[in-house]
Structure 1
């Protein structure tokens, strides 16, 4: 018209693949590219408008959506572009992950299949950053890596890594360090489950089979228990401790110094003597009162 040189129309394509446009009528969009749809509309307008031009833009497609939920900025239903998009791109549309990549897991549900991978692995290995498909469901979960520290330390507790990597010395320091009065620097232990080839290389094949015959059993994923001991009075242990990686669910134990037991025994022996001395003092006071 003279007042407006263009008109913008929002269309919703119906389940039959068609949509109605004023002065054009019903237009079939299913199976057409944007350019083919533009040409179809333009051809219908040539007899009804002077030098018409048409621009067709896809804003969203109800059949091309992915559900993103969990530990993201904005859990939502994300519409896909016509250009194929990857997992990271779809998560970014949902506000991005709420936690660090090294403690964030991404689960993709496609039909009856499910796969879970660490977000850090997707970033480090582009081949893991696969393209999503319409109807996919993505669940982002935060599962922080932790270790448990017990024994003669400031507090027996479970501690989050708070970093991508953590060595033994950093872990002990993160937990507050050992108690200076009671800890035995010769007895720091790390308990964990290792892969069979690692345990066999440390124990030797013969010793490994001996342990199996004595009842050593693997966990649910086929790993075997092993204990590492560190003597922190030895400078070599301090060097090794800087490169010894702590793994998720490790248990660190700081043993008690033998002198602590002796001190406790002496305290126990001295306690009755103190009670007896108090009793004598009370008796003397009673005699003074009687006199």
Structure 2
């Protein structure tokens, strides 16, 4: 049964509480609430009057269900607004979003992306096959000559040591050689280039080129670390956890710390605890990478037809949707719509595109779905808990930092509230009318 069909069925159940009022001596019939039916049954009404009362009451009931106090939107309202543009929603400031129905397959997809954030964005990488010289590197060039009276040798020493710094144009000057293009060369290639230039000038020369400082092979580590620093990368290569350790490690708890890696024009974020628990995410760091650690205690919020509406901390471990809802006491038995469990999230674009399909994803972008400052797009996940396998999907679905979990109330809740609102004053009025009738009978 669809969401709207389910709500209509519940309304029909609620309407069974209405009573049929027939007036003796007339053909008028009215369908009214039992709480007020006794008062109307005592009054003589004609067919037209009773029909008007019935129609007015039913129309007012349906219309007022949208105006009674509520705990957020109904499931039908969330589904109705999904996939619509700003123009279709008739609200200039509306957020355009799409709803994704979650089953075991989509839950596995989301989980696999969550556990492979860095490798999907950058690839696992590896050690560079051979390190090259870059701008800013400080080199020591040692030149040896066989004779005592050469360009660089003397009677006391046959070795000359020259320190050079590679300039922004990638070059550095060597005496009797001139400008040498070092940038992009390995140490051995630089050695051969200098040696070739000295042939015919020096006496049986030989050359050794070594690094004194590798400014071009640095990574920057900042944020919530004990010692923010520029970390030189060794020729053996460093992984992400290696450079974080060289910066003193995170200041706070690993489960409340997030790591963002920025490489040229791309970036990705992962929690420190996920990095520690997933070796595949411990990627090789490249020269120029920027690593930023942010301490942000993970929290999620549960709202709607649950026993406790509140913001909740994750604590030291990750949580699934079922666990998160359970921490708030679960859904209210008489109020929760079992087909309307939602998770509101700004999601990674790669996940959204995979779940929606490329064509639908492009359509939503054209309709005005806009990413936030981190490049994530608004997405709403829906669980139909009337299906038993949704409990298994919810057990695999990972809750993320700042997620909003919303459990929609059932339409029958609004109908019951409406009857409660109108029933109290009408019962008072009924009591007053009864008292007047009794007084009139006594006077007779």
Specify which of 276, 279, 289 is matched with residue 429 of structure 2.
276
Please tell me whether the aligned partners of residues 71 and 142 of structure 1 are also in contact (alpha carbons under 8 angstroms): no
Please tell me whether the aligned partners of residues 298 and 313 of structure 2 are also in contact (alpha carbons under 8 angstroms): yes
Counterpart mapping for 1:15-94 below 5 A: none
Task: Report the Cα distance in structure 1 between the residues aligned to 2:299 and 2:354, rounded to whole angstroms.
Answer: 26
Q: 1:219 is paired with a residue of what secondary structure?
A: coil
Cα distance change, pair 181–104 in 1 and its aligned pair in 2 (3 A): same
Q: 1:228 is paired with a residue of what secondary structure?
A: strand
Question: What is the root-mean-square deviation in Å for CA atoms of aligned residues?
Answer: 4.1
Cα distance change, pair 220–103 in 1 and its aligned pair in 2 (3 A): same
Match for residue 254 of structure 1? 407
Match for residue 222 of structure 1? 375
* Alignment pair present for 1:190 and 2:360: no
Please tell me whether the aligned partners of residues 97 and 140 of structure 1 are also in contact (alpha carbons under 8 angstroms): no
Task: Report the Cα distance in structure 2 between the residues aligned to 1:117 and 1:247, rounded to whole angstroms.
Answer: 11
Q: Deviations over 1:114-149 (max 9, x none)?
A: xx9854367556979x9xxxxxxxx99742211111
Q: 2:372 is paired with a residue of what secondary structure?
A: coil
Match for residue 166 of structure 1? 319
Q: 1:226 is paired with a residue of what secondary structure?
A: strand
Q: Provide structure 2 residue ranges, at least 5 long, that are not aligned to the other structure.
A: 1-222, 228-241, 261-268, 286-291
Please tell me whether the aligned partners of residues 225 and 247 of structure 2 are also in contact (alpha carbons under 8 angstroms): no
Task: Report the Cα distance in structure 2 between the residues aligned to 1:140 and 1:193, rounded to whole angstroms.
Answer: 20
Alpha-carbon shift at residue 91 of structure 1 (Å): 5.8
* Alignment pair present for 1:209 and 2:373: no
Larger radius of gyration: 2
Specify which of 420, 432, 437 is matched with residue 267 of structure 1.
420
Alpha-carbon shift at residue 230 of structure 1 (Å): 0.5
Cα distance change, pair 120–242 in 1 and its aligned pair in 2 (3 A): closer
Task: Report the Cα distance in structure 2 between the residues aligned to 1:280 and 1:235, rounded to whole angstroms.
Answer: 52
Cα distance change, pair 239–86 in 1 and its aligned pair in 2 (3 A): closer
Match for residue 103 of structure 1? 256
Counterpart mapping for 1:120-199 below 5 A: 120=273, 123=276, 142-199=295-352
Higher-RCO chain (CA-CA 8 Å, sequence separation at least 6)? 2
Q: 1:229 is paired with a residue of what secondary structure?
A: strand
Cα distance change, pair 164–178 in 1 and its aligned pair in 2 (3 A): same
Please tell me whether the aligned partners of residues 342 and 406 of structure 2 are also in contact (alpha carbons under 8 angstroms): yes
Q: Provide structure 1 residue ranges, at least 5 long, that are not aligned to the other structure.
A: 1-68, 77-84, 108-115, 131-138
Cα distance change, pair 288–193 in 1 and its aligned pair in 2 (3 A): same
Match for residue 239 of structure 1? 392
Q: 1:184 is paired with a residue of what secondary structure?
A: strand
Cα distance change, pair 283–71 in 1 and its aligned pair in 2 (3 A): farther
Cα distance change, pair 172–269 in 1 and its aligned pair in 2 (3 A): same
Q: What number of residue pairs does the alignment pair up?
A: 192
Please tell me whether the aligned partners of residues 307 and 332 of structure 2 are also in contact (alpha carbons under 8 angstroms): yes
Please tell me whether the aligned partners of residues 187 and 229 of structure 1 are also in contact (alpha carbons under 8 angstroms): yes
Q: Which of the two has greater helix per residue?
A: 2
